[in-house]
A and B are shown apart, each in its own frame.
Chain A
Amino acid sequence: MTYAKAVGRALAEAMRADPRVFVIGEDVSAGGPFTITAGLVDEFGPQRVRDTPISEAAICGIAIGAAQSGLRPVLEIMYIDFLTLALDQLVNTAAKAHFMSGGQLSVPMVLRTQGGAGRRAGAQHSQSLESWLCHVPGLKVVMPSHATDAAGLLASAIADPDPVVVVENKTLYFRPDPLPDVLAPVPLGRAAVVRPGRDVTVVALSRMVPESLAAADALAVDGIEVEVIDPRTLVPLDLDTITESVGRTHHLVVAHEAVGPGGFGAEIAAAVGHAAFDDLDAPIVRVAAPFQPIPVSPGLEDAYLPGAADVRAAVLSALG
């Protein structure tokens, strides 16, 4: 089992349970570039697993219209870098339709996309742009870090009456990753404490969750107990779980693959800094990529990407 297969399975189960659910995107009937939707067309047919031309703006608008007219589209934008092409529809229409119509319209669509570096794909195929979406009132944003949450969050996203963006990660897709036999929805807006610890709280997004767990294992050998929290949903953010943890550990590290300035870690840090100021014994430390476009040359890209070593260094820095 893998994260990729878990998403595919969650899609199939959602489509079996609800005839309104359909998949739409570029090459989705062939599985897309990451095989996520492979096989769905055999069970559900080409009307419900609908291929589109390379027209991100239009297909996002189509998903919005279909959702406003009673269906539950799951739109795939194969790289988050290409979400830029659909942003007008997503930001100016999908996010605001309910508000601007005075509550008459809802847009129960899901936009699935993936980001992340590590494949030498270059700066236009490797970004982590989730923080942009967190700045748009009306959108919900989830970022699963493993198979069970990928399936569970997707189920909840499909059931959600609002537009939900699901940000997957290309290097997480194919790692061996167990999944329970019976899938359960994972509610939006609830963080998970994936590793309890006494000494420092590490809030990590997506690929930085397994990296933080690896750092935590290494630090445990040195007697430092790290509590790793995966927010899972960025908007709405479960700040309470994070501040409760900081109330016990008094130290916070925030880790993501996105670049630091303007990254979602800045939002978490500011929110915790305000809500838990008296609990903090040290400044909040952020782990993030350098503020530059992502290189293609292997050595440069490897050096660019934050990982367990950076989390370890951040923890030691926070603990002084």
Chain B
Amino acid sequence: MSPAFQDQAAIWWPFVFILLAGAIPTDIWRWLGVMAGNRIDENSEPLRWIKAVATALIAGVIGKLILFPTGSLAEASLALRVGSAAVGTGAFFLGGKSVFVGVLAGEAVFIAGWLANS
């Protein structure tokens, strides 16, 4: 069982953890990208699968954050979180796939909804 972030009391352990479990798994793909240097076919089957896996994983994190948040976000009701996310997504599409519009709308609804209930 490999050690967790919180396991060791040494002050340098979290940083080693971040390097080993965070920085290297991230940068290694960048280095491989430099090595491959555009000999990669964007439309190849393996790459389609890779994009799907990475997208699903990140979407999983988002889903967890919205439905099972920690900290201050947890004080917002489930309806508020899901509702704001839905409105934000809708506004994103209405704004012509604009992240700016989506984030603005979602945040506005979130804050308004929170204040309306407090």
| A and B from one complex | no
Chain A residues within 8 Å of B, Cβ to Cβ: none
